[in-house]
Amino acid sequence: MDALLIQTLAKSLKSTQENDEQETRLPGIKLTQYIPGMPTARQAQFLSLNNREALYGGAAGGGKSCALLMAALQYVDIRGYSALLLRRTYTDLSLPGALMDMAQAWLRGTDAVWHEMSKTWHFPSGAMLTFGHLQNENDKYRYQSSQFQFIGFDELTQFTETKYRYLFSRLRRLKHVNIPIRMRSATNPGGLGSDWVYNRFLVETETNQERLFIPAKLDDNPHMDKDAYVQSLNELDPITREQLLNGDWSVRQPGSMFQRSWFRIIDMPSPDITRKVRYWDLAATEANGSNDPDYTAGVLIGEKDGQYYILDVVRERLTPAGVEKVIRKTAEVDGIGVDIWIEQEGGSGGKNTIDYYARHILKGYALHGDPVSGAGSKTLRAKPFSAAAENGNVYLVRGNWLTALLDELEAFPLGGHDDMVDACSGALRKLSAPRFVRVYGGMV
């Protein structure tokens, strides 16, 4: 938000503090004397929600940070209320026009008191509004002894999903306290977390009514000089411009090796496919510790007459024991006739992993280790797969994994993850090579 808009809202605040009628300005929406001016229609929609989880935003200029600060201030007149507003870094919080600067403009001169050391506003009711940041993954544990009734993430796509989900553990209240428990966020498309935010709020909301998305665009903010801002956004590259100007979640920075249009999507594969390979990339971490952990990915591909059919994709973040169970169960579903390949890390550790799986997890199945050290980079290994796709020889059988796979392919090698790409590349290489079957204990 620019400085002129902050000054305008601050002046509005001073005029509205002369009376206590703030809470009745919009029927059905709780407002306090600390919220300046009138929310826009979109902001009012956001402020009216009492469900647990909601996201506001989309395009730039829709008043996202302003809406988030308003939401945090809705219950500061109630004793015991505590709110937390987060950005990824302290610098993001303290920039001119950012959340802390905006709060200073709104609350300076009121009966709220700023505590610089803790970055917290204290209100006469005893309520508190704290500003924090989560730059590193372990920063989330800074709040492990705290409790909040409101947590707000500004620019949510700059955070990992693990940080976001952990903070739910800090949302709680005492019995009989009439304050809603709320997790609120604001963001534009793009950024390292764009995929998980999109899936959580624009895909999964179809089956989870506790998550709501309130889209807002530049037209929804009457305080902004639209023409001047559009002129500025027009200087951006086409992808970023679509994300910020129109709030388009579907566009993304493309990689250099795959295009969505190359893949043919079908409902059923050819019944004549007899040769199939399931290839596993085991690079996985349970989704509770690392910044953005990799996945275990297993891709089933069939081949017929030089054409390749991606039949199924398994993609999980699990403990080692969980990975073993998934791989065993998948082998049982695929059947004994499917060759199983596992990407083999270098050194004795990789050999031991294959030996362990052969003896204990996949005994009796056609299991192979695929040593990739010395086989070139991931990009080099993906070139045959890329060529087959560009020539129209790769078919995708429709499944719930389809969007995630296409997103990862389109971003490769620039995207944050490449587990499914590695598994696809490995399976296609094996289907293209002369066939042999290794069953633990011998070869046929």
In this prediction, residues 126-148 reach a mean pLDDT of 92
Q: Tens digits of per-residue pLDDT, 28-46?
A: 789 999 998 788 888 999 9
Q: Is the pLDDT of residue 185 over 80?
A: yes
CATH of domain 260-443: 3.30.420.240
Q: Phi first, then psi: what are they for 422, rounded to 5°?
A: -60, -45
Taking the CA atoms of residue 285, residue 286, residue 287 and residue 291 in that order, the dihedral angle to the nearest 10 degrees is: -30
* Residue 206 confidence class, pLDDT cut points 50, 70, 90: low
Q: Is the pLDDT of residue 372 over 50?
A: yes
Q: Is the pLDDT of residue 18 over 50?
A: no
- Determine the pLDDT at residue 375: 63
In this prediction, residues 390-412 reach a mean pLDDT of 91
CATH of domain 3-245: 3.40.50.300
Q: Phi first, then psi: what are they for 312, rounded to 5°?
A: -165, 150
Sort residue 218 into left (φ over 0), alpha (ψ -120 to 50) or beta. Answer: alpha
- Determine the pLDDT at residue 309: 97
- Determine the pLDDT at residue 317: 87
In the chain, CATH 3.30.420.240 covers 260-443
* Residue 169 confidence class, pLDDT cut points 50, 70, 90: very high
In the chain, CATH 3.40.50.300 covers 3-245
* Residue 203 confidence class, pLDDT cut points 50, 70, 90: confident
Quickly count: other Cβ atoms within 10 Å of residue 337's Cβ.
11
- Determine the pLDDT at residue 265: 94
- Determine the pLDDT at residue 3: 41
- Determine the pLDDT at residue 228: 79
Give 162-167's long-range contacts (Cβ < 8 A, gap of 24+). Answer: 162/137, 162/287, 162/288, 162/289, 162/290, 162/291, 162/292, 162/293, 163/134, 163/137, 163/139, 166/140, 167/84, 167/86, 167/140, 167/143
Q: Is the pLDDT of residue 132 over 50?
A: yes
Predicted TM-score (pTM) of the model is 0.58
- Please give the residue that has the higher pLDDT: either 206 or 50: 50
pLDDT above 70 as % of the chain = 83
In this prediction, residues 109-116 reach a mean pLDDT of 95
Q: State how far the alpha carbon of 22 is from the alpha carbons of 42, 77, 198, 422, in Å.
A: 18, 12, 35, 57
Give me the chain's average pLDDT, please.
Answer: 83
- Determine the pLDDT at residue 255: 64
